């Protein structure tokens, strides 16, 4: 982000020479004083020269509009949008977002350092500042097979990268509390940078210890009491409002004149339909204002506060010497975006994306990531070793699952899916090293009556996760996902009804987001045609394999009792 300042800006700021661009007659939101002032904004090259009365070579009348800093998403996994960074920028910049702080945790769990490099390269030449926090937990746990293992030594080459701000969410808070060497090595590596936290429910002396290690923020607060305790102990509070986790309403109660400067907005994971139909950070601001937050506070929380947390200079305000990342709103209630200026250039006009890259965006090559063993017909059979089985039960609209026990349906010595009782076979197939690892179990709550569905989006190691009523359809799903190099798939009677290809690490598409969203609607409809009664079956499927959310989960290595943090047998 090196911008060489031309000191001719002094003459422009004094009104002695015309500015390159002047936004005329708008109402400027001052995030330093909390005031609104009717004035012109003068831009010279990439920088804001001044606020006042100015003339420019190009003048844009924004009477009746509000001039504010470009918006920040303080914590996001872009992979969850199912598209790459250039396409993501095309969608969020017209929504007023000019900067994101990303954790490439998902792609790093698949491709390791190559995944991080891919995201760094693809972030160039877009009208979006993409700041990086390096993944702290690859793999996330020892209960699954990840595509990589990143230790402090592996992250070292990236520490001094211009766009790398620090270490991403330290999810392994037990490792911090128990002084795990690998965890502390990573924290030590970034002690002069920013270290993000991830500590749901942590309190008291343990929270003291976590913060004392140098961790400065948290995006996992779910109650006002939790958020306030963490804020009092010096943490920045990222108020998360994503597609899955929605914490704004519960946490907004702590935001007031004394505390708001320590609060930021984050999406964490926001999916295609929500981005296209609702918005991004502007949607969170709209919702917060609807719940009673001052619009000016909302703007500061979405701009300057992130810059202060991440030690980003010359961004986050409309003021002299600041980079000209500016959003012009039509109103301060719905936060409809009229114009966006990025580095002094108009990239959104009348809500339409007008950006034209000055550099050719070359296609970045990335290796295939679906590497599975040659499947045999009996690979998905489950030999009956008893009558009672441990079953994962889905909880409606939640990522937590219940651990229940049920009598197995047994035929010819093998445990089978039981559609009458909605107890369906689920498998996780290791897809990084073509090993023999196939975790096998049963899940209740999908409502699947026939066929099978599967996905390569399976947090956090992203192995292939599939549920099915019969082994033939399960096998067809897996082999088809290998054929399309990752994505989603629906099969019935060994016929592929619908697929959605995600060839970039099995996580992202190379198509426009609108097209991806339409395909997502179609594949969800195909899944529902098999009897599934969950609104977002692939979303729920992707979290069946996450062994850090209670109570029972499944990985390529078997069933994990998350409450006890140990593997358990399928048969009781």
Q: Are 75 and 172 within one domain? A: yes
Predicted local distance difference test score (pLDDT) of residue 83: 98
Question: Does residue 66 register a pLDDT over 60?
Answer: yes
pLDDT of residue 18: 98
What is the C-alpha separation between 145 and 141, in angstroms, rounded?
Answer: 9
Task: Check pLDDT > 60 for residue 1.
Answer: no
49 part of a folded domain? no
Looking at residue 3, its pLDDT comes to 59
Q: Two tokens at 191?
A: 């002690």
| Domain annotation covers residue 496 | yes
89: pLDDT strictly greater than 60: yes
Residue 174 lies in a domain: yes
Question: How far does Cα 2 stand from its chain's mean position?
Answer: 27
Q: For the residues of 247-302, what is the DSSP string, one character each?
A: -HHHHGGG-STTTGGGEEEE-BS--HHHHHHT-SHHHHHHHHHHTT--HHHHHHHT
**Stretch 4-31: mean pLDDT, rounded?**
95
User: Predicted confidence band at 4 (pLDDT cuts at 50, 70, 90)?
Assistant: low
Please check the confidence at residue 448 and state whether its pLDDT lies above 90: yes
Q: How long a stretch of residues is the chain?
A: 572
Rounded to the nearest integer, the mean pLDDT of the chain is: 95
| Integer angstrom CA distances of residue 363 from 124, 268, 353, 436 | 12, 27, 21, 34
CA separation for the pair 285, 72 (Å, rounded): 11
Q: What tens digit of pLDDT does each residue of 276-291 get? A: 999 999 999 999 999 9
As a whole number, mean pLDDT of residues 462-479 equals 98
Provide mean pLDDT across the span 154-168: 95
**Strand pairing of 345-349 and 164-170?**
unpaired
Residues 94 and 231 in one domain: yes
Residue 5 has pLDDT above 90, yes or no: no
**390, β-bridge pairs:** 405
Q: Which residues of 59-92 are buried (b: 16+ CB within 10 A; e: fewer)?
A: bbebeebbbbbbbbbbbbbbbbbbbbbbbbbbbb
Largest CA distance in the chain: 91
Residue 145, φ and ψ in degrees, nearest 5? -100, 115
Domain span holding position 248:
70-312
Planar angle of CA 114, 117, 119, nearest 5 degrees: 110
Same domain, 213 and 100: yes
Strand partners, 388: 407
The pair of structure tokens assigned to 220 is 């996992």
- 103 and 195 in a single domain? The answer is yes
Distances (CA, A) of 496 to 399, 454, 527, 537: 28, 11, 11, 17
Query: Both 394 and 519 in a single domain?
Result: yes
Instruction: Give domain status of residue 55, yes or no.
Output: no
Residue 130 sits in a domain whose CATH number is 3.20.20.140
In terms of domains, do 198 and 284 share one? yes
Residues in a beta bridge with 454: 466, 489
Per-residue pLDDT tens digits for 129-144: 999 999 999 998 889 9
Is residue 3 situated within a structural domain? Answer: no
Question: Do 132 and 102 form a contact (C-beta atoms < 8 A)?
Answer: yes
Is it the case that residue 443 has pLDDT exceeding 60?
yes
Average pLDDT over residues 53-64: 98
Same domain, 297 and 403: no
337: in domain = no
Task: Read off the pLDDT of residues 291-319 as tens digits, 9 standing for 90 and up.
Answer: 999 999 999 999 999 999 999 999 999 99
Let me know whether 306 and 408 are in one domain: no
Compute the C-alpha angle 176/267/534, nearest 5°.
100
Mean pLDDT for 434-443 is 97
Q: Answer with the one of 290, 312, 334 that is the final residue of a domain.
A: 312
DSSP assigned state of 569: -
Q: Which of 258, 279, 312 corresponds to the end of one domain?
A: 312
Question: Do 308 and 396 have their domain in common?
Answer: no
Q: Is the pLDDT of residue 361 over 80?
A: no
Q: Are residues 409 and 296 in the same domain?
A: no
Which residues are CB-neighbours of 294 under 8 A, at least 6 positions away?
Answer: none
Residue found by looking up tokens 């209630």 in the block? 333
Name the band, by pLDDT with cuts 50, 70 and 90, for residue 356. confident
Q: Is 53 helix (H, G, I), strand (E, B) or coil?
A: coil
Q: 57 by DSSP, 3-state: which?
A: strand
Check whether the bond before 555 is cis (ω within 30° of 0). Answer: no
214 neighbors 195 (Cβ within 8 angstroms): yes
CA–CA dist 82, 457 (Å, integer):
10
Contact 241, 284 (CB under 8 A): yes
401 lies in some domain: yes
**Same domain assignment for residues 80 and 225:** yes
Number of domains present in the structure of the chain = 2
Q: Are 132 and 120 in contact (CB under 8 A)?
A: yes
Q: What is the pTM of this model?
A: 0.94
pLDDT at 2: 53
In a domain, 368, yes or no: no
Q: Same domain, yes or no, for 401 and 544? A: yes
Residue that finishes a domain, picked among 288, 312, 336: 312
């Amino acid at each position: 982000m090196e911008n060489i300042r031309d000191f001719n800006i002094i003459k422009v700021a004094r009104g002695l020479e015309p500015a390159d661009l002047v936004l005329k007659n708008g109402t400027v939101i001052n995030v330093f004083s909390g005031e609104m002032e009717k004035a012109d904004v003068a831009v010279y090259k990439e920088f804001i020269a001044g606020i006042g009365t100015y003339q420019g070579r190009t003048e844009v009348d924004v009477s009746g509009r509000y001039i504010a800093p470009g918006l920040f998403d303080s914590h996001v996994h872009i992979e969850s949008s199912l598209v790459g960074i250039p396409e993501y920028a095309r969608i969020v910049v017209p929504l007023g977002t000019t900067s994101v702080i990303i954790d490439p945790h998902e792609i790093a769990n698949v491709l390791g350092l190559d995944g991080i490099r891919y995201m760094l390269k693809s972030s160039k030449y877009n009208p979006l500042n993409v700041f990086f926090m390096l993944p702290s937990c690859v793999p996330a746990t020892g209960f699954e097979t990840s595509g990589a293992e990143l230790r402090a030594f592996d992250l070292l080459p990236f520490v001094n990268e211009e766009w790398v701000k620090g270490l991403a969410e330290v999810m392994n808070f037990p490792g911090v509390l128990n002084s795990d060497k690998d965890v502390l090595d990573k924290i030590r590596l970034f002690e002069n940078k920013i270290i993000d936290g991830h500590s749901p429910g942590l309190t008291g002396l343990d929270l003291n210890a976590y913060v004392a290690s140098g961790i400065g923020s948290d995006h996992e607060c779910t109650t006002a009491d939790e958020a306030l305790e963490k804020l009092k102990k010096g943490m920045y509070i990222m108020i998360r409002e994503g597609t899955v986790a929605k914490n704004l309403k519960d946490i907004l109660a702590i935001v007031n004149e004394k505390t708001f400067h320590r609060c930021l907005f984050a999406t964490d994971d926001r999916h295609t339909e929500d981005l296209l139909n609702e918005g991004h950070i502007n949607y969170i601001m709209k919702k917060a204002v609807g719940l009673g937050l001052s619009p000016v506070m909302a703007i500061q929380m979405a701009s300057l506060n992130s810059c202060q947390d991440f030690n980003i200079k010359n961004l986050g305000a409309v003021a002299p010497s600041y980079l000209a990342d500016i959003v012009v709103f039509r109103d301060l209630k719905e936060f409809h975006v009229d114009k966006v200026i990025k580095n002094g250039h108009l990239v959104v006009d009348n809500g339409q994306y007008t950006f034209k890259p000055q550099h050719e965006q070359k296609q970045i090559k990335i290796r295939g990531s679906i590497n599975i063993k040659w499947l045999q017909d009996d690979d998905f059979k489950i030999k009956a070793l008893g009558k009672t089985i441990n079953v994962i039960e889905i909880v409606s609209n939640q990522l937590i699952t219940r651990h229940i026990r049920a009598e197995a349906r047994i035929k010819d010595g093998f445990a089978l899916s039981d559609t009458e009782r909605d107890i369906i076979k689920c498998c996780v197939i290791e897809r990084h090293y073509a090993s023999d690892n196939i975790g096998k179990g049963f899940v209740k709550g999908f409502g699947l009556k026939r066929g099978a569905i599967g996905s390569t989006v399976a947090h956090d190691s992203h192995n292939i996760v599939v549920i099915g009523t019969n082994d033939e359809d399960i096998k067809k799903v897996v082999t088809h996902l290998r054929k399309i190099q990752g994505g989603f798939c629906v099969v019935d009677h060994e016929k592929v009804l619908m697929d959605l290809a995600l060839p970039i690490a099995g996580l992202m598409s190379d198509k426009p987001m609108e097209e991806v969203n339409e395909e997502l609607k179609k594949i969800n409809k195909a899944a529902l045609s098999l009897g599934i009664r969950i609104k977002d079956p692939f979303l729920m499927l992707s979290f069946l394999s996450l062994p850090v959310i209670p109570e029972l989960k499944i990985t390529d290595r078997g069933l994990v009792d998350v409450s006890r943090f140990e593997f358990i047998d399928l048969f009781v």
